Amino acid sequence: MNNNVMPTKKNLIITKNNLQIAQVGLEKLDAKHKSLLNKQNKILKKLEELKIIYENNLQIAKIALNKTEKFHGSKMANYFVENIDNDFNLQETSIFIDELVYTWKIVFNDLIEIKRIECFLIELNNQIKRTGKRSFALKNIIIPLYLSRIKYIQESLEEKERDDLIRNKIAKKFTQHLSIT
């Protein structure tokens, strides 16, 4: 297996340096992968807490909606919920409408925050997958390739040295034999 590399000492040094770089890169990728997983776990815990808060705020908002429907009717309550982003003159409304608008704004803000975090988690998962793929490639493809190249180059150089040694011995015997005769 020649690995498309000439078996020279220069290529041996270069390949050993590349192997060291790949091993350092693998260590850094593994550290990054662990860091991303820790970050993901923290964000998932935060998301779960936020979902609990959202559920509680949603229950409060539903209660406020029921109160407003009883006092003002369902059309008026639904109008305020559907137009929550509009600024109302709350001085001319009842406390039920004030509470309704306030609680539903909180619910919508909680929902927006949950979706923002979920989008961030999707991107974080993609980063984790990319890091895992790169780590896998280094660990199972690149580093073994460099190891096999080093082995091939070392074996080839040793074989050349043995051939040279034998050639030198034969040449020495031949020159001694010629000098004797």
List, for residues 49-95, the tens digit of each pLDDT value: 999 999 999 999 889 888 887 777 666 656 666 666 555 555 556 77
* Residue 181 to residue 158: CA distance in whole angstroms: 34
Residue 72's pLDDT is what? 72
Query: What pLDDT sits at residue 2?
Result: 45
Q: Which position has the higher pLDDT, 102 or 31? A: 31
The dihedral sign for the CA sequence 122, 124, 126, 128: negative
pLDDT tens digits, residue range 97-106?
A: 778 788 888 9
Domain boundaries, the chain: 9-180
Token reading at 131: 């890091």
Which residue would you say has higher pLDDT here, 120 or 5?
120
Exposure letters 46-66 (e unless 16+ CB within 10 A, then b): ebeeeeeebeebbebbeebbe
What local confidence, expressed as pLDDT, does residue 86 receive? 58
CATH number given to 9-180: 1.10.287.3240
